[in-house]
Amino acid sequence: MSETAANVEPIGKREKTKVANRQAILIAARAVFAELGYEAATVRDIIRGTDLASGTFYNYFKSKEEVFDALADDGARRFRPILRMARENAKSFEDYLHSAFVAYFHFIVQDNQLEGKPIEERRPHILRMDTPEMTAVYQEVRQSLEDAIAHGDAPHVDADYLACACIGIAQEVGSAMLRRSPHDIDAAADFVTGLLLKGLLGAARKS
């Protein structure tokens, strides 16, 4: 084996170990937040859910707050391609909004099928929007809205405010939907789409 190959292999193995350790911490944290709730959970609880030494945890995260931000970023990273597909397949602005909300609500239902604490006790009430992947989701939504406005498919409104409104409403209505049984994804998506397009009259139930 050449000297170059000998040097490359350990680096590759070391990187894989780092990725595996970080993922182990995130998996453990997710289970701990579900079981104990975000406020009650501690770094020690998270570490106990892994095979790692306590010192290893601090090589990746400084606190449980950083772990939570990483979990939020992981979810946002996985959702972005789904959101983009909703945009590409939409036949109209209303169809885009509705399909994007349906996709998001499906995503969080699947992502929160965990035993343990109710959803409102698993995480802080407000999700940070300044993490890298959450910022990327915001930019994806804003770009979609700007394009729809530019093409005359959507009313001429402030795309920044509207993007923030879409994300904020989706998070809050999604959390409320998760507290209900069964989770009525279509009703939640109909409500939010109608509210954004037509106000309270548009959000009225279709019965």
Q: How many other C-beta atoms can be found within 10 angstroms of the C-beta atom of residue 86? A: 20
Query: What pLDDT, in 10s, does the model give residues 141-157?
Result: 999 999 999 999 999 99
**What one-letter code names the amino acid at 202?**
G
* Domain covering 63-207, topology: Tetracycline Repressor; domain 2 (1.10.357)
Query: Average of pLDDT values for 62-67?
Result: 92
Tokens of 141: 């939504």
Rounded-to-integer distance, Cα 163 and Cα 158, Å: 9
Q: Which band of pLDDT confidence, cut at 50, 70 and 90, is reported for residue 1?
A: very low
**CATH superfamily assigned to domain 1-62:** Homeodomain-like (1.10.10.60)
User: Which of residues 119 and 37 earns the better pLDDT score?
Assistant: 37
Domain with CATH 1.10.10.60 in the chain: 1-62
SS (H, E, C) the chain: CCHHHHHHHHHHHHHHHHHHHHHHHHHHHHHHHHHHCCCCCCHHHHHHCCCCCHHHHCCCCCCHHHHHHHHHHHHHHHHHHHHHHHHHHCCCHHHHHHHHHHHHHHHHHHHCCCCCCCHHHCCCCCCCCCCHHHHHHHHHHHHHHHHHHHCCCCCCCCHHHHHHHHHHHHHHHHHHHHCCCCCCHHHHHHHHHHHHHHHHHHHCCCC
Q: Which pLDDT score, from 0 to 100, does residue 125 have?
A: 43
Q: Which pLDDT score, from 0 to 100, does residue 202 have?
A: 73
Tokens of 6: 């000998």
Domain with CATH 1.10.357.10 in the chain: 63-207
pTM of the predicted protein model? 0.76
Whether residue 38 contacts residue 124, with contact meaning beta carbons closer than 8 Å, is answered with yes
The DSSP H or E segment spanning 150 is helix 132-150
Query: What pLDDT, in 10s, does the model give residues 76-102?
Result: 888 999 999 999 999 999 999 999 999
